[in-house]
A and B are shown apart, each in its own frame.
Chain A
């Protein structure tokens, strides 16, 4: 099969790159071993949340001053990275995804345990909370679905009370949930979302109970388990409840994350892209230092040929990198990696300290071509968490690096002004 661009990896970075290129008329394929880390997404996208443990308030003005020269943002160029970041809300809007937030000022998101963390963009389900030290509401009603074990109201209330919020907690019962409770282990976020999918009556019934439970609270906090295939259920619920609703992400799988995955894939395919799910790239055929074709398990003898290839395989979790007893390797091309040669220095025994292995990744030249034996593979580009020299947890930069590097790589392959 022949394509203009073949993207290896179907997560946030791979899909963003594929969509940007398909928008410019390129014929693209994405290969994804299974579903992506978007299924564990909070519903917010971080760009740069922390520097040396301190919260970043204004990423756009701070970035150039604080970013080390080897960091993917610095390699893109701080100004260019910010310029791309400014395009992202419109990029999402074209898919039908509305986001809150701005690169000029971080806002706060609430974690599943009720902690406030700085972030860049949040799906429109979630409020962009302006301050860390207090919520916009002094009295909230936290409501769970009875029997749902992945939303921990007591932790949330405990942590929100610490920032001066008066919290009341209640649980909602509806006949629709009895059915789910038959199998308590399957009373998970996605199955709850499916109860409300295309069933506006159930959403309105739920809303009526929410209002009754809320009494004199100023806002309602609900688990983010609404709107799987699209955000319709979220909109109906927000309309039906008079009080502001503040959704809180729950333990995985993430309903807003799954919706983002579904929406991005749908957009990619609507633009003519081919998405191979549940397939794995088994080998690459090189010719004169370039990638000529790749082979996959399912397509077997039918190679995928393209002019450009994108490596968006992720880090250790996505199997883009693998830790062997004596070294860290990039699994597909055996490209050069940036990693400590001494295994003893991979980990910090303080589990919450900065972990060196988190910054390991593929070595690239200035234009994001992975190198092999020090020589750039000129039609291969790396994007997302497979890149080296950034720490998505300590910096709160994972989604930002995924999106910004993907859109940068798309620009390198087909500059926007040359687009059809």
Chain B
């Protein structure tokens, strides 16, 4: 809109060659968009093509079909899923009550929380895992769930920001006071009043956490656990077609998961809006 009015004004101003001035930017715009689209789409296309080819460069589904029977694939996949699920549960249990409490009772603590949750972005994963491998007790180091505990830290920046912006968008204090004065206890207030209002924030926090854990390579490889990304990297030497097929499928799977969760939420909220309207 704004650019429209500006361009209209420029046209009104006495311009010796209005045509040429208008057309040149359009050519540039097309060129820039084309170059960007080529740079970002070509690698995805090339990898997908490679995943659906056999060794003699013909279209084939052999790589995709062969995935489940490869040595170590199932174990790596299950381990990644277990880590993703346990990380998600732990993150939500830790961050949701803390963030709600700080919003309700300790608004001054918000700055502290903001500072702490920005730190995992400043400290690179490779340095963090160095410290964790030093500081963790032996019994914890022998368990893959040590990774879950660290992934909770990695997910803090996204999760805190998602929940925080979700809470800032609603009038939390009024909602809680209304529920309490109507006789709801704290559990009921949280479960029936605050959580439904927080759904969008919780959803994006969960999606980001799952995507983060399923794609994490640095920490898992240095902690010597074969999660899915680590397995793919190792399997590259055995069969590049199969390894690429797994990599692209995991990528597509993550996107599908995100799309499904987000669209489910959208249709759900539309339905509830309709219900309220009636």
Q: Do A and B come from one complex?
A: no
